[in-house]
Amino acid sequence: MRRILALIVVLDATAALAQGSPPTIGGKPLVQVKSHNPPAKPQSIATRLQACLDIDDQTKERLDCYDAIFPAQPKPMVPAAKAVSDCRFSKEEDERLTCFNGFAERIPKLPQ
């Protein structure tokens, strides 16, 4: 009876130790295979602005697309926009959308 109990204790202890270590084959640990897909490279601002042009014109979705690139920061007195990033200062959504559209439509099509 004691031998059986001792055998159970030894087998249980080895099973517990085996679970704590990584699996091995021939003494070498197994490795995980990772996919070889390269991470997506970040898109330029021009490419992201042109992607917004694919959304229906004069819609809230297109404005949200532009706002994701340049978050809105309304100011009471807004001078004329000299760069696309200046469009975010317009308080009115229609003005901001028109401003973004004007700059986005002037960007030459970039090769994919």
Q: What is the pLDDT of residues 25-82, one digit of tens each?
A: 777 777 766 667 777 778 889 999 999 999 999 999 999 999 999 999 988 887 888 8
pTM: 0.59
Tell me the domain boundaries of the chain.
45-106
Q: What is the pLDDT of residues 82-102, one digit of tens each?
A: 899 999 999 899 999 999 999
Provide the greatest CA pair distance for the chain.
93
Instruction: Give 28's strand partners.
Output: 25
Question: In this structure, what DSSP letter does residue 22 have?
Answer: -
Looking at residue 53, its pLDDT comes to 92
